[in-house]
Amino acid sequence: MSPTHPANSARQRSPDPPASGWTASLTPRLAQFAAVARHEHVTRAAHELGVPQSTLSRAITRLETDLGVALFARHGRTVSLTPAGRTFLASAERALAAVEHAAEAVREDADPTTGKVAFGFLHTLGWGTVPELIRAFRAEHPRVRFALVQNYGEAMLDRLRAGELDLCLTSPLPDDPDLDSRRLDEQRLRLVVPDDHPLSARKRVRLAEAADEPFVTLEPGYGMRRMLDTLCAEAGFRPRIAFEGEESETIRGLVAAGLGVALLPPPPVPRPGVAELTVTAPRAIREIGVAWRTGRPDTPPVAAFKRFLLGRRGRLVG
């Protein structure tokens, strides 16, 4: 390195790059800087890194120029850290360790046998369907890990678009160019009434017969709420909403308390205090499918779980 260091000359100071360009130019040189600091010798550091000594020397000089401080004091063929260099080294080593930790984490998540799947699903599938799916999948892939997210449809799809989820079970299927989806199964929806309701002795009912009833339903933004509004419109009425909630079993409890009726998928096990009637008209079903982000490459564990889900078409729910 030249004994006249560019950081000591204002005329040689390069203009500050934009923040994004600064980060991009700084990051590759952290390991080079740390190697020189470790060896206190540019030639030995260059040998360790497998780069020409002149290339490494220029990289360190440019780093000091961009920072505007001298990181090393020159002593012939050797160098030593300046006080600024020691401060910068501590932060550089933490940054390099964080990058290595992140790299190791993504390698682990992508491992075909021990990797991780970020999997979202609807509240109404969380009691029986999802645990059974994971149990069956792990019979063949016992070490794959899952990060499970239970939420309503729109919130899950937002997380899918943001890359926070790999796959999600949702209903209805999204109509979104950023997402791909496949239909897996369907569920018949039921009109849920208190067990002392005049309709409770019936097995089947037309939805129009509940036109004058108060409805207990999920909040706007939930797929089941959109289905209720659509099906009631097909039946010729607009539902009178008495209560809104966030969880289907809470809705059933409100129905059991005599606070209204509800349109819901069947429960995993029978619930006391209510009667569940098959809706004959209009055709009241909900499609359940799996969705993922368009164009996003799958890690091996995600690809394996996606194949497993697609292989369960028609057998997803009871």
Domain boundaries, the chain: 6-110, 116-186+287-310, 190-283
Q: 293 falls in which pLDDT band (50, 70, 90)?
A: very high
pLDDT at 20 over 60: no
pLDDT at 7 over 90: no
pLDDT at 11 over 60: no
- Per-residue model confidence (pLDDT) at position 22: 54
Question: Which residues, 6+ apart, have CB-to-CB distance to 33 below 8 Å?
Answer: 60, 63, 71, 88, 89, 92
- Per-residue model confidence (pLDDT) at position 8: 43
Burial class (CB in 10 A: 0-12, 13-18, 19+), 283: exposed
pLDDT, average across residues 264-277: 92
- Per-residue model confidence (pLDDT) at position 152: 87
- Per-residue model confidence (pLDDT) at position 77: 76
pLDDT, average across residues 227-249: 95
| CATH of range 190-283; options 3.30.465.10, 3.30.43.10, 3.40.190.10, 3.40.1360.10 | 3.40.190.10
Quick one: fold of 6-110? Arc Repressor Mutant, subunit A (1.10.10)
Q: What's this model's pTM, rounded to 2 decimal places?
A: 0.68
Burial class (CB in 10 A: 0-12, 13-18, 19+), 129: buried
Residue 200: HSE in the Cβ half-sphere, 13 Å Cα cutoff: 15
- What pLDDT digit, counting tens, does each position of 186-196 carry? 999 999 999 99
| 6-110 shares its CATH topology with 116-186+287-310 | no
More confident residue, 110 or 126: 126
Quick one: fold of 116-186+287-310? D-Maltodextrin-Binding Protein; domain 2 (3.40.190)
Q: 112 falls in which pLDDT band (50, 70, 90)?
A: low
More confident residue, 289 or 223: 289
pLDDT at 122 over 60: yes
Q: 25 falls in which pLDDT band (50, 70, 90)?
A: low
pLDDT at 14 over 50: no
- Per-residue model confidence (pLDDT) at position 26: 72
Question: Which residues, 6+ apart, have CB-to-CB distance to 56 below 8 Å?
Answer: 32, 35, 36, 42, 45, 46, 49
Name the amino acid, one letter, at 303. Answer: A
pLDDT at 101 over 90: no
pLDDT at 103 over 80: no
Under a CB-based contact definition with an 8 Å cutoff, are residues 122 and 66 in contact?
no
Cα-Cα-Cα-Cα torsion 55, 61, 62, 65, nearest 10 degrees, comes to 180
Q: What is the mean pLDDT of the chain?
A: 88
pLDDT at 109 over 80: no
**Over pLDDT 90: what percentage of the chain?**
60
